[in-house]
Amino acid sequence: MSERLQPGDVAPAFTLPDADGEQVSLADHQGRKVIVYFYPAALTPGCTKQACDFTDNLELLAGAGYDVIGISPDSPEKLAKFREKESLRITLLADPDKKVTEAYGAYGEKKNYGKTYLGVIRSTVVVDEEGKVERALYNVRATGHVAKIIKDLGI
């Protein structure tokens, strides 16, 4: 089980491939706030809803100084299909070995239909301009989550 991040922690640095196979680093966003969210799988109903909500609110978030990065264990090829199928405009990154997901505390025990298993915990971490954790939210719901973040951030 990975340790959950707390406000004030330094956000773990990462470099991962995006849907086009290009390397994207957290450091690329230095000087801007970044909403890093972790989701279990592209092209599934809950994850699609969440990604579409972020895309629908991207201009509002960007206007308030926030970049949005979605991270899942999917391959860049699957992320490209996800982006095309749903017309997503957010940055999607592939973390197939789940090292970044674990570093952010977004991997661990989950329960589904009475079974316990290890998996990606739907989580959102807001990183400030200096690379520190501003908020860390775990076990979030896909539906309504983006609206809640916007409200909580006062955007």
pLDDT digits (tens, 9 = 90+) for 55-87: 999 999 999 999 999 999 999 999 999 999 999
Which CATH number is 102's domain given? 3.40.30.10
Within a domain: 112: yes
What is the rounded distance in angstroms from the CA atom of residue 136 to the CA atom of residue 85? 29
| 1: pLDDT strictly greater than 80 | no
pLDDT tens by residue, 88-112: 999 999 999 999 999 999 999 888 7
Q: Give the number of residues written for the chain.
A: 155
Question: What is the value of pTM for the model shown?
Answer: 0.95
Tell me whether residue 20 is in a domain.
yes
**Residue 2 belongs to a domain:** no
Count structural domains, the chain: 1
DSSP-derived letter for residue 90 is: S
Main-chain dihedrals φ then ψ at residue 16, nearest 5 degrees:
-135, 155
- 152: in domain: no
Q: Say if 34 falls within a structural domain.
A: yes
In a domain, 150, yes or no: no
64 occurs within a structural domain: yes
Structural domain range at position 133: 9-145
Give the residue numbers marked as catalytic: 47
